[in-house]
């Protein structure tokens, strides 16, 4: 996506003989078109970002704000709960995101295959979870995964398996969170990959077949390179989304059991709107922003430019 | 590949994917089933696998405990007003950036696109304080205003508007059309498919949004559906029949609308999302 943002930096074209017609009205017009967006953006995005930094240097004591410098940031470094949240978020990032993207890639390839009958139905079906709001499916999963009475454990029981403490065991709760995230976003990522896949010229596959390439070889040498830009996009988007993840753990597990699903997003929310420690919450937000920036850059380096 | 082998592979792939789809669709199916059962029936063993007759009772409970009619109305009004206003802001800005050359264009556009990568959490606290200072807590505008200039929407619109031929605009100008009328009469009509995709996206985004409404809507009469459902789930004596009926009421209409419009939506959205 970033390529598109910068790709259009075309220098102002020569005026194509339109000079006599460029009345003052036309010089003002573009600014009027973009003005509402810019004003709203300045008021509700840029100003709050600046103010958030100022807040992060303060501590609210008895309703008044007191300047404390970088105290909130040093507190952050020594806060075991913050590190727990960071660790949990990293685990989801390291395990769930690669698994989901591999699944989405397989799904996109399958959906693109001429061997598949009824492709339209399949494409639709897998994209549908994306339409379901985070709260709605969080609630739905919390019922499906209930230990004693949930549908999933009942199904497991049919096959003679023991019930799984999906939401009450620290490890399983993480797995459940991953399951819910995967259910929600796999189809979405598959659609992005699919769109890209359709732009890979069929001749490349034909050429590979002529050279005697099997299915795996042509996947490795034609499909994957073709998917590279879309894989970068889905990886970066999933990383940003995962680092901010809030709704699912908030609804599904409330961050528990024993903080096993406490994410940075949930911890930030708790500090701001449960303990009303706005200064500390803002420091967490800035730490998160820095983290997202660093990871985004690393991913662009690794996946972006061909060596 | 022989025809028989080809068919064999085709059947294998199709049935494999059908099983995967069944696993993906199971939660939807079960949501419909659960919404029509009482809380105790949902947790029966074996669990109900077919729809029951408890839907009306569940909706009544929802109305009594959470003023659900009011909540649905809040959600609908907020999503509709948001879609119209944000659609206008994004279309105007997208057109300005796509079809005019002006000083600072690239810098201003880049600034707006920064909004795509800055985590929303950074602005939560100061935005909440702003809303409190403006005395906007518990109002529609508190939910709507901060996200009107949605970077993704502006990006999408610029991509689509760029495809509009300049000759079309020039011929309108030669006919003496003012710039704003040009936008309304010449630019918008051929943009309908892209605008439809944008509208679906904006509506879904607002309809499902949770964190921000959760923060600014503190009074239960102003809740949107996700906030109301989450608040019900926190109660000690949670009525899951009622909650799941509400969940179905939130998810199923959206799924149906999406089913009807998905072809447009996916192509309109992807036109902007996956170019190099």
For A26-162, strand residue ranges (E) read 58-61, 64-67
Q: pLDDT (tens digit, 0 to 9) for every residue of chain B, 276 residues total?
A: 577 888 888 888 898 889 888 888 888 888 889 889 888 888 777 778 888 888 888 999 999 888 999 999 999 999 999 999 999 999 999 999 999 999 999 999 999 988 887 888 889 999 999 999 999 999 999 999 999 999 989 998 998 898 888 888 888 888 888 888 899 988 998 888 889 889 988 998 999 999 999 999 999 999 999 999 999 887 767 788 899 999 998 888 888 877 777 777 666 665 544 443
Tokens of A161: 């398996």
Cα nearest neighbour of A250 on chain B:
B230
Tokens of B154: 């502006």
Rounded to the nearest angstrom, the minimum Cα separation between B231 and chain A is 10
B173 CB neighbours in chain A (<8 A) are 21
Q: How far apart are CA A167 and CA B257, in angstroms?
A: 33
Q: How far apart are CA A140 and CA B71, in angstroms?
A: 19
Cβ partners under 8 Å of residue B15, min gap 6 = none
* B124, B179, B266: residue with CB nearest A25: B179
pLDDT reported for residue B270: 59
Nearest residue to A289 (alpha-carbon basis) of B104, B94, B60, B115 = B115
A7 CB neighbours in chain B (<8 A) are 276
CB A38 to CB B149 under 8 A? yes
B20 CB neighbours in chain A (<8 A) are 107
pLDDT reported for residue B1: 55
Tokens of B31: 């949501």
Q: Is A5 exposed, middle or buried (0-12, 13-18, 19+ CB in 10 A)?
A: middle
> 10 Å Cβ neighbour count for B236?
4
pLDDT reported for residue A39: 97
Residue A303 has pLDDT above 80, yes or no: no
Q: Is the dihedral of CA B160, B162, B165, B168 positive or negative?
A: positive
Q: Is A240 on the interface with B (CB under 8 A)?
A: yes
* B92, B240, B251: residue with CB nearest A143: B240
Contact B193, B230 (CB under 8 A): no
Nearest residue to B30 (alpha-carbon basis) of A147, A137, A184 = A137
Mean pLDDT of A205-213: 84
Q: Which of residues 146-175 of A touch B (CB under 8 A)?
A: 146, 148-151, 154
**Paired sense of beta strands A64-67 and A58-61, if any:** antiparallel
Q: What is the DSSP letter of B99?
A: H
Instruction: Provide the pLDDT confidence category of residue A24 given band limits of 50, 70 and 90.
Output: low
Q: Is A185 on the interface with B (CB under 8 A)?
A: no
Q: How far apart are CA B10 and CA B39, in angstroms?
A: 43
Query: How far is the CA of B204 from the CAs of B164, B197, B200, in angstroms?
Result: 27, 11, 6
Q: Which of residues 64-103 of A touch B (CB under 8 A)?
A: none
Cα nearest neighbour of A42 on chain B:
B112
CB B229 to CB A135 under 8 A? yes
| Best to test chain B binding among A12, A41, A124 (most B CBs inside 10 Å) | A41
Rg over CA atoms, chain B: 23
CB B270 to CB A192 under 8 A? yes
| Best to test chain B binding among A39, A130, A131 (most B CBs inside 10 Å) | A131
Cα nearest neighbour of B106 on chain A:
A9
Q: How far apart are CA B79 and CA B206, in angstroms?
A: 5
pLDDT reported for residue A13: 45
pLDDT reported for residue B221: 92
Tokens of A300: 């662009």
Q: How far apart are CA A3 and CA A196, in angstroms?
A: 15
pLDDT reported for residue A206: 83
Better pLDDT: A198 or A98: A98
For B176-248, strand residue ranges (E) read none
Contact B162, B102 (CB under 8 A): no
List b or e across A82-93, with b for residues whose CB sees 16 or more CB atoms inside 10 angstroms: bebbbebbeebb
Cα nearest neighbour of B152 on chain A:
A1
* B20, B179, B254: residue with CB nearest A29: B179
Cβ partners under 8 Å of residue A14, min gap 6 = none
Better pLDDT: B138 or A3: B138
Cα nearest neighbour of A39 on chain B:
B149
Which alpha helices (H) appear in A118-275, and where do they start and end? 119-131, 134-144, 151-158, 170-197, 202-210, 215-218, 224-243, 247-252, 264-273
Cβ partners under 8 Å of residue B60, min gap 6 = none
B34 CB neighbours in chain A (<8 A) are 143
Query: For A130-165, what is each residue's pLDDT tens digit?
Result: 888 888 888 888 888 887 778 888 888 888 888 888
Query: For A268-297, what is each residue's pLDDT tens digit?
Result: 999 999 998 999 999 999 999 999 888 888
Residue A193 has pLDDT above 50, yes or no: yes
pTM of the model: 0.86
Tokens of A287: 């730490």
Rounded to the nearest angstrom, the minimum Cα separation between B51 and chain A is 15
């Amino acid at each position: 996506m970033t390529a598109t943002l910068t790709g259009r930096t075309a220098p102002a074209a020569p005026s194509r003989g339109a000079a006599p017609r460029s009345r003052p009205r036309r010089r003002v017009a573009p600014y009027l078109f973009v003005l509402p967006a810019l004003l709203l953006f300045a008021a509700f995005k840029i100003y709050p970002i600046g103010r958030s930094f100022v807040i992060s240097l303060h501590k609210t004591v008895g309703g008044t704000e007191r300047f404390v410098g970088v105290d909130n940031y040093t507190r952050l470094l020594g806060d075991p709960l913050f590190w727990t949240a960071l660790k949990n978020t990293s685990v989801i990032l390291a395990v769930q995101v690669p698994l989901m993207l591999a699944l989405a890639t397989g799904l996109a390839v399958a959906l693109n295959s001429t061997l598949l009958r009824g492709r339209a139905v399949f494409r639709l079906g897998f994209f549908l979870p994306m339409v379901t709001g985070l709260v709605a499916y969080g609630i739905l999963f919390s019922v499906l995964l209930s230990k004693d009475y949930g549908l999933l454990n009942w199904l497991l029981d049919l096959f003679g398996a023991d019930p799984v403490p999906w939401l009450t065991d620290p490890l399983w709760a993480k797995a459940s969170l991953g399951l819910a995230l995967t259910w929600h976003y796999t189809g979405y990522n598959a659609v992005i990959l699919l769109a890209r896949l359709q732009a890979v010229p069929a001749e490349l596959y034909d050429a590979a077949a002529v050279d005697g390439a099997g299915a795996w070889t042509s996947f490795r040498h034609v499909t994957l390179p073709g998917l590279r830009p879309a894989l970068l996009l889905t990886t970066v988007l999933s990383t940003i989304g995962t680092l901010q993840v809030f709704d699912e753990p908030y609804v599904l597990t409330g961050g528990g059991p024993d903080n096993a699903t406490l994410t940075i997003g949930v911890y930030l929310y708790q500090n701001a709107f449960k303990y009303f420690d706005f200064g500390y919450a803002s420091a967490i937000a800035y730490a998160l922003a820095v983290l997202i920036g660093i990871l985004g850059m690393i991913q662009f380096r690794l996946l972006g430019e061909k060596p | 590949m022989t025809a028989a082998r080809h068919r064999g592979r085709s059947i294998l792939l199709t049935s494999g994917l059908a099983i995967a789809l069944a696993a993906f669709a199971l939660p939807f199916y079960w949501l419909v089933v659960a919404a029509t059962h009482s809380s105790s029936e949902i947790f029966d063993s074996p669990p109900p696998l077919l729809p029951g007759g408890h839907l009306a009772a569940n909706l009544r409970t929802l109305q009594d405990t959470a003023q659900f009619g009011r909540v649905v109305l809040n959600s609908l009004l907020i999503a509709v007003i948001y879609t119209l206003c944000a659609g206008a802001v994004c279309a105007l800005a997208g057109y300005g950036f796509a079809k005019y050359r002006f000083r600072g264009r690239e810098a201003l556009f880049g600034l707006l696109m920064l909004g795509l990568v800055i985590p929303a959490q950074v602005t939560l606290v100061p935005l909440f304080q702003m809303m409190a200072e403006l005395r906007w807590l518990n109002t529609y505008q508190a939910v709507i205003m901060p996200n009107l200039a949605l970077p993704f929407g502006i990006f999408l619109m610029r991509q689509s508007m760029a495809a509009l031929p300049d000759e079309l605009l020039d011929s309108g100008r030669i006919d003496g059309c003012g710039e704003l009328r040009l936008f309304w009469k010449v630019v918008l009509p051929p943009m309908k498919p892209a605008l439809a995709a944008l509208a679906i996206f904006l509506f879904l985004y607002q309809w499902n949004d949770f964190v921000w409404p959760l923060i600014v809507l503190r009074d239960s009469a102003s809740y949107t559906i996700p906030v109301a459902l989450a608040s019900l789930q926190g109660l000690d004596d949670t009525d899951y029949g009622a909650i799941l009926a509400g969940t179905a009421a939130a998810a199923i209409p959206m799924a149906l609308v999406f089913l009807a419009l998905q072809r447009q939506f996916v192509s309109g959205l992807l036109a902007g999302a996956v170019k190099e």
